[in-house]
Amino acid sequence: MDTDLGPHGTETVCQTCAIELDRIAEAAMLTGQDLELLQQPRRRINANIPVRMDDGSIEVFPSFRIQYNSARGPTKGGIRFHPGVDKTEVDELAFLMALKCAVVGIPFGGAKGGVQVDPKELSEGELERLSRAYVTEYHDSIGPQTDIPAPDVNTDGQIMAWMLDEYERIEGEHAPGVITGKPVELGGSRGRTSATSYGGAVILDAFLDAEDIPPENISVAIQGFGNVGSYLARFLDERGYDVVAVSNAAGAIYDESGVDIPALHAGYESNEDLFDLDTAEITNEELLTLDVNVLIPAAIEDQITAENVDDVQADAVLEMANGPTTPEADQILADRGVPVIPDILANAGGVTASYFEWVQNTTNEYWTKATVQEKLNQQMQTAFEELNEIKRAGDGNRTWREAAYTRAVESVLEAERLRSNIPTGAHA
């Protein structure tokens, strides 16, 4: 295992983090020292993990764990299994996690992990051995009070169960708080599966309310009908929104009078095809440019770009995926006055419910789904109101993303200042 310590080590800064921070540096009065501290992770760890394959051969998988900032609490973030995973991507995702936890005011720092692997190529046994080996490699760096992993792209409750079991085997005792996103039987939280979407629905309601717009007859297009997109479609449908288009990697469907979301969601849960419904098919590109009130990217990163942003007709964008809008497209939307509710607020319901899971593991007191949703509602509402205040302060010209970054960065820097990791008074 190889460890790089920042911020004065030899590693380069996280480029995307630096771009985003530069944007708010002036308004948030960030000093050079603030920026130096925020532009690179506190700790990068990487390991090449050997795994015995079913045919007896050994394959080695590059892997990462980035602990971006721990000033506000133990670092927190998912583990991604994907062939495209690299240090740069994990850096950016860890940075977003640090900001996300601060935006919603939960006492965690930010982290992310990843393994360069296509899990579809592995047998179940190989996947289990890789998951356990990841924990063996990083065991000394994770823990309920140090760094708490969770699922991310291509990792799920079963993988969390293997990882938890491996950690507890090494420790020789139960330690459910080391990992969130676990199955309920192993200490997972009720309501976690749909929490990201539930939080997104709360934020969209709050946004419309702040703009004095009733949710009835608000048309919505959702890109991505996986965990986040499908539950969000259901919550919005129940709240009276018109979900007129949804998509997955295979394509999109569109019905001006509203897609049959209950049928579609039932299909998602039983793994049926989206396109079994008798509804007009459109392309994913067309979905992004539909004339709807709210466009909701809930699939993957870099979907609204400099190339297609001029065709985006939506009145507002709710970012449920991580990083779906490129910085160039974001600027163009801001210039056009199209509000973009940023990922670090819109999809923070997931990590908030993970925090609730950790609290339940720590106190050994377990809550009903209704209690989880009630607490989630309260936490997300409060976060929204705080950002709304920051947004309206001064000349009122901040975008939602700038308000969210400002709030998050101020909170992280205050924690660093209290720990004397930056000079007192260095941050105004």
Residues at the contact surface with ligand NAD, assessed by CB under 6 A: 196, 223-229, 247-249, 284, 298-300, 320-322, 347, 350
Q: Which helix (H) or strand (E) holds 301?
A: none
- Sheet strands side by side (includes 2-5): 2-5, 43-52, 58-69, 109-116, 75-82, 147-151
Rounded distance, CA 112 to CA 115, Å?
11
Q: Considering the complex, what minimum distance in angstroms separates the CB of residue 351 from ligand NAD?
A: 7
Rounded distance, CA 325 to CA 396, Å?
22
Residue 127 or 413: which CB sits closer to ligand NAD? 127
Rounded distance, CA 318 to CA 296, Å?
5
Residue 143 or 157: which CB sits closer to ligand NAD? 157
- Please identify the residue of the shown chain whose CB is closest to the bound ligand NAD: 226
Q: Considering the complex, what minimum distance in angstroms separates the CB of residue 3 from ligand NAD?
A: 26
Q: Considering the complex, what minimum distance in angstroms separates the CB of residue 235 from ligand NAD?
A: 14
Rounded distance, CA 272 to CA 266, Å?
8
Residue 227 or 371: which CB sits closer to ligand NAD? 227
Q: Considering the complex, what minimum distance in angstroms separates the CB of residue 322 from ligand NAD?
A: 4
Taking phi over 0 as left and psi of -120 to 50 as alpha, with beta for the rest, 354 belongs to alpha
Query: Does 182 participate in catalysis according to the annotation?
Result: no
The amino acid at residue 147 is D
The amino acid at residue 193 is T
Using alpha carbons, select from 145, 139, 43, 137 the residue that is nearest to residue 91. Answer: 43
Residue 69 or 322: which CB sits closer to ligand NAD? 322
Catalytic hit among 76, 87, 100, 112: 112
Q: Is 98 helix (H, G, I), strand (E, B) or coil?
A: helix
Residue 175 or 282: which CB sits closer to ligand NAD? 282
Q: Considering the complex, what minimum distance in angstroms separates the CB of residue 151 from ligand NAD?
A: 7
Beta-strand relationship, 316-318 and 294-297: parallel
Active site residue ranges: 112
